[in-house]
Amino acid sequence: MADSLYLEIADFDHDVLTGIYSEETGKPQPLRFTIRAKLRVLDKYTPDTPLAASKNYMDLKFAASEAFPPGLHFNLIEAVADHVCETLFLQDERLEQVSVQIVKLALSEANESIGITLTRDRP
């Protein structure tokens, strides 16, 4: 049986320029991100395993916030998720898979979660 290691950030909210309708364009939309990244696992982790054997969890948050070029508008949240996946794959060759869930907070009428999940394996 093979081990798997996933890094995760859940329920991170960030405003992104996205949307296709006139009331959405030109202003940031609140999105909620959950990002899960599968990292190549070591055979064993010991108490003295160095930090370099893992990945900085904050890189996941960065990919869903600071990594967006200023002023870039995404028509679809699928494109936002794609950008997050590609950013993470470029950051670290040890990532085998990235999953990005995005919930459009502005669409919720009764506290439901409406959005998408994109899961991509390393090309």
On whether the pTM is more than 0.75, the answer is yes
Q: Report whether pLDDT(89) > 70.
A: yes
Q: pLDDT by residue (tens digit) across 49-67? A: 998 899 998 999 999 999 9
Number of structural domains the chain divides into = 1
CA–CA gap between residue 17 and residue 74 (Å, rounded): 6
Residue of 116, 115, 109, 104 lying closest to 30 (CA atoms) = 104
pLDDT band at 1 (very low <50, low <70, confident <90, very high): low
User: How far from the centroid of its chain's Cα atoms is residue 68's Cα?
Assistant: 12
Q: What is the pLDDT of residue 115?
A: 95
Q: What is the CATH number of the domain that holds 101?
A: 3.30.1130.10
Name the token pair of 48. 């003295």
Residue 7 has pLDDT above 70, yes or no: yes
Residue 94 domain boundaries? 5-121
Which tokens sit at 76? 């679809």
DSSP 58: H
Where does the pLDDT of residue 14 fall: very low under 50, low under 70, confident under 90, or very high at 90 and above? very high
Q: What does DSSP assign to residue 76? A: S
